[in-house]
Structure 1
């Protein structure tokens, strides 16, 4: 059974390797579900980590429906990861109606080859998971990461089990709420892989900052934050006018 650790830093990746994990999914910003890690982190991972590493390619938080420019960023990030010699890519695209964006996902899969391809937890938003499974198998996706469309894999284990039984050539990998207290349940169900972060928080500061830098108002699944042209124009006009 493969144990994949979702690592958000070099330290997390080193701990995963020391613990005997089989594979790492590398990302940044777990608080928003993960985004593409920085170039500097990618380089250091290649220098310090010897187990297989799959890289999350997700240009921003929020939904999984992307503009043409965002999609171009994703393709360039995939090319970079391929050139750096990573084991795989973790990504995916949905349409606005929350169905699988077959054509764009196909383009990402093809751009990733010969690397492995995992379709990430965007799968947990699709309206017809069985149809999405069939489509992803057609695209020869290697792995689907899912919580069974629930808040945790334990809650979603029934759907995960049905998906696993229907899958012919795609590994269904439970992820979301996997812990030492429940992982054996997934082993007993016959899953071939599990995904977890194993995160524990630790304090790094000697003092508590007076103001917050995190902005809860930005944490929206169905909206994205974009600098507004009209607002920027007005500020520039006010500053520049004589």
Structure 2
């Protein structure tokens, strides 16, 4: 791997700050959150604004929001990757069948990012959003994706890294995580019981591309008040079917 360019890294760090909160930031807030010199932040923000990656937030003096250039890059990414669009379509079909919340997520380092979501119509349902990022080891989609990594890739990502807890049920021990992922590989589905949200359980299945690689996972999330062993078995089968349908749309020929 080549040398990282500090100025580019800092500029990207600034852009990524806008993924959280209300989507607007001031230069002093950026300075504080990234612990960078004020002059450095001023120069980077000025450059990003000149290239339309940032623009002044309307009616909010001194604050910035993402500009049209960031949108154009995101749109081009979406055009080239049908996974998000196809994931949303399949998630909708699965949600219509079970009337529970359905997600499709991808892995980035040790986090999952939800790229598609369809809500349940029940009054009691999981609250989440496409674009949200969560620790992979706390979610069923994340366990499925981690279990699909080659061993050396998994070790490189996990060794020496803290496994943060989101609830008392979250896995924080590396050996326990490895044992759980071994079970996931055997079963072909992954489950989560109140590990990212104390009131929710989930089941997930792998999504494969045309080359057979696991590129995403599809999950069904259910409030604990509607969860049971029988329901888990039903939803595991439905998640596997939905994941297979999504895989087929991406060119996978392996069947369900």
TM-score normalized by the length of structure 2: 0.27
Q: Which has the higher helix share?
A: 2
**Per residue, is there more strand in 1 or in 2?**
2
Q: TM-score, normalised by structure 1?
A: 0.28
Quick one: higher RCO (CA 8 Å, sep 6+), 1 or 2? Answer: 1
